[in-house]
Structure formats: structure tokens, C-alpha cells
Amino acid sequence: MTETAQPTIPQPYPFSDPHRLDVDPRYARLRQEQPLTRIRMPFGEPAWLATRHADVRTVLGDPRFSRAASVGRDEPRNSPRQADTGILQMDPPEHTRLRRLVAKAFTARRVEELRPRTRSVAEELVGAMVAAGPPADLVAHLATPLPIRVICDLLGVPVTDQDRFHTWSEAIVSTTSLPPEVAESYVEQLLGYMAGLIAQRRTAPTDDLIGAMVRARDEHADRLSEEEVARLAAGLLAAGHETTVTQIPNMVYVLLTEPDGWDRLRADPALVPTAVEELMRFIPLGATAAFPRYALEDVELGGELVRAGEPVVVSIHSANRDERVFADPDRLDLAREANPHVGFGHGVHHCVGAQLARMELQVVLETLLRRTPGLRLAVPESELTWKSGLLVRGLTAMPVSW
């Protein structure tokens, strides 16, 4: 960095359209040569992009970088509308006030209590898939229904309504897949639906998470608005299944297509917990960057000076392939020991459902290894179709045999 450096012209970002689960080779070059670089997303003001693991953790974890400061700014983003992202655009202590309400339901200890039930749901779904096939679509038989049943049980949302909220919740992860006004109307419908469930609990209290949120709201009416509760519940419902629904097929796809994948796991199923961590590191789930952080003061980062008021976005998958942290980062190593990946983010916005997602992913792999040890793709890899226009990358369908 020099005082007289000319501002570089921001590069359009994302650098390329997502292709399968490939990681753009430009990230490796940027980590080496220009770890903090100027980019311009499809909408909003130009931003910095952080690509190294250490810098990504700083941007996500250091209170000098703020989400709340994005409010009222022309936020770098993927779609024309600048959505209200609720808890994701708050800083502590406001953020903490809301997060505390739900964090308790997602601790490792509470998630363990859900494991037996998740196992029996997985057993039932895989059993039905085995009875129906082969070939069978892993997305429809397992990856979609399992996370939806688990999050519905936890929240207290009737699973019989899933056709409705599954349609609406796409709006939460949509970038260009839905016209902006449709996305907006889906979000409104989802909020309205949640408001209905909240109202029901006023007359008939329940032990589920929405019930607990309603009780907390009624005890601390001064601290929590009705809309905040509805938004939070809607966010959990959407995030709780859009991400895991997508990650299950991604995970199986990687295991079936990378060397030392499925066969290694089949030979040593005790590797499932480290395999899930490695798959979280290896899979570039995000299709683009989101949720820029604004510097609250001048910060030296990655050899550049980020000035107060400037936005920074991070590349999670670049951080997860940083050779400074991970030996042989482009190789899938299901037994990788030290694995401080940022697949669930970092800092106060670290995925609240991370422990739940881990448990679900572990259960899915264990069940498939036991019931369908000969699992393989039923079509050539080139015939698989991938979703587009979403914040996440994933398969629309996954025909498998066993």
C-alpha cells in the first residue's frame, strides 16, 4: 500500500457464474497477490472483498465492522431490492437481545436430544427411497423432507403446511430466481403465516420454540416487538431448511465425485463427524457474497486501509481454501484434523443452526452408509442440473442408485 496509489477499478463480482461446486481459480491468485480487492456487485456501491482466512474472520468477528451501519446505505447486493434482513442487519447489543431468545434451542446439548428422532425420520425416508428405487431422486426423497421435518418439529410449524412455506421461503435465498415484487410478496406471506402461528399460541400455549418466543415476548414486551418475533421465526424456518436441503445433495455429490470420498467413508464410517466438517469446508455453498460489513473506523486489513464507512464483503470459500491455514486445501480429506473452516460463518452472526445442521448431516451420512452402501449417481455427472439465481448453489435433482 502506498499513499499515492491510484484507486483500482472495481472488478464485477461474482467473478464468474457459479459452475457446479467449482471454486474460481482467481481466489487463489487474489489471496496471494491482492488479499483485499475492490469489487462491484450487481447492485449497490463498490466494496472491498476479503479472500484470506484471517481477514475474513476479522471482518466477520471484529466489532469495528458493522452490519447495522449498512442500514440507509446503498448496500452492495445481488438483487435490485434492498431487503430488511432483520437480525442479520443488527449489531450487539440489539443483535444479542434477539439472538439470546433462540440460541438456547440450538445448543449442542439441546440438539443431541433431537438426534434419535432425526435418526428415525432419516430411516423412514431412506427406507421409502429404497422401496421406490433405484433409481430415485435423493433431493425429493431425503434431502428436502428431512430438514423440513426437523425444523418444523423444533419450531412448532405444522409440516402439513410445507407446500406453502416452502414456496415462500425461496424468497429468503433468492437473488434473481424470483421477480422482486414476487419475492417481496412471498416474504410478506411468510410473515403473515408466522403471525398466525404466534396468535394461536396466545390462546393455546405450546412447548415448541415459537411458543417459547411468544412467552419471552409477553414477559419482555418492552424489549421485543411482535414483528421481530414473526421475522425471527420466519428466518429460522427459511434458513433452517433452504440451506440444509441444499447441502445434503452437495455433500453426497462431492463424496461420489471426489477421490477418497464415498469409498473411504464406507470403509471407515467412524470418520463421519470429521467428514462433515471437511465437507462444510470443501463445498462452496454460497453462490455469491452477501451481508457486507461496514467499517466503523479506519482499519488496516490485508495490506490495505479500509476507511471508516466503507463496506467489505468476504468470500467464505476462499477463506476455506486458504493454504495459510489448510494443508493441501483443494484436496478433500475426510480425516482432516484441525479444521477451523468458516462454513458456518464467524462472529456474532455465526449460524445459529450450526449444531443442528451438523447433527442432520451426520445422521444423513450414517443412514445412507448403512442402508445404501453401494450409493452412486444414476446418470452421468454432466447430466445433473444445478439451481441458479439463489444465494446458495445446489442440485435441482439427484438421481442415485445403490
List residues binding another protein (CB under 8 A): 57, 60-63, 92-93, 95-96, 99-100, 103-104, 106-109, 340, 344, 346-348, 350, 352, 354-355
Shortest Å, Cβ 126 to another protein: 28
Round to the nearest angstrom and report the end-to-end CA distance of the chain.
Answer: 56
What gap in Å lies between CA 363 and CA 173, rounded to an integer? 25
d(CA 361, CA 244): 8
d(CA 220, CA 234): 20
Q: How far is the CB of 222 from another protein (least distance, A)?
A: 16
CA dist 184 and 172 (Å) reads 9
Q: How far is the CB of 350 from another protein (least distance, A)?
A: 4
Q: How far is the CB of 341 from another protein (least distance, A)?
A: 11
Positions of E strands within 110-174: 136-137
Least distance in angstroms from the C-beta of 44 to another protein: 24
Q: Do residues 307 and 20 lie in contact, with contact meaning Cβ atoms separated by under 8 Å?
A: no
What are the cell numbers at 369? 452408509
Distance CA 219, CA 229 (A): 13
Phi, psi of 141 (to 5 degrees): -80, -35
Taking a C-beta distance cutoff of 8 angstroms, is the pair 169, 190 a contact? yes
Question: Minimum Å distance from CB 345 to another protein?
Answer: 8
> Smaller CB distance to another protein: residue 80 or 92?
92
Q: How far is the CB of 5 from another protein (least distance, A)?
A: 31
Q: Is the Cβ of residue 96 or residue 388 nearer to another protein in the bound state?
A: 96
C-beta closer to another protein: residue 107 or 385:
107
- Of all helices (H) and strands (E), which one includes residue 126? helix 108-132
Judge whether 240 and 151 are in contact, CB under 8 Å.
Answer: yes
Pick the closer one to another protein by CB: 344 or 402: 344
Q: Nearer to another protein by C-beta: 279 or 390? A: 279
Q: How far is the CB of 223 from another protein (least distance, A)?
A: 12
Q: Which of 15/344 has CB closer to another protein?
A: 344
- Residue 301 or residue 352: which is nearer to another protein going by CB? 352
Q: Which is nearer to another protein, 136 or 352 (CB)?
A: 352
Q: Which residues pair with 137 in a beta bridge?
A: 399
Helix-helix angle 94-103:226-257, to 10 degrees: 70
- Number of CB atoms found within 10 A of residue 181's CB: 9
Maximal C-alpha separation, the chain: 69
Residue 393: closest CA among 12, 15, 23: 23
CB of 233 to another protein, least distance (A): 18
CB 361 → another protein: shortest distance, Å?
15
Least distance (Å) from another protein to the CB of residue 379?
Answer: 38
Helices (H) and strands (E) in the chain, counts: 14, 11
* Element spanning 47, H or E: strand 47-50
Closest to another protein by CB, 72 vs 93, is 93
How many C-beta atoms lie closer than 10 Å to residue 345's C-beta? 18
For another protein, the closer of residues 88 and 354 by Cβ is 354
Which one, 307 or 350, has the nearer CB to another protein? 350
Q: Which residues of 291-328 are buried (b: 16+ CB within 10 A; e: fewer)?
A: bbbbbbeebebbebebeeebbbbbbbbbbbbbeebbee
| Cβ atoms < 10 Å from Cβ of 15 | 15
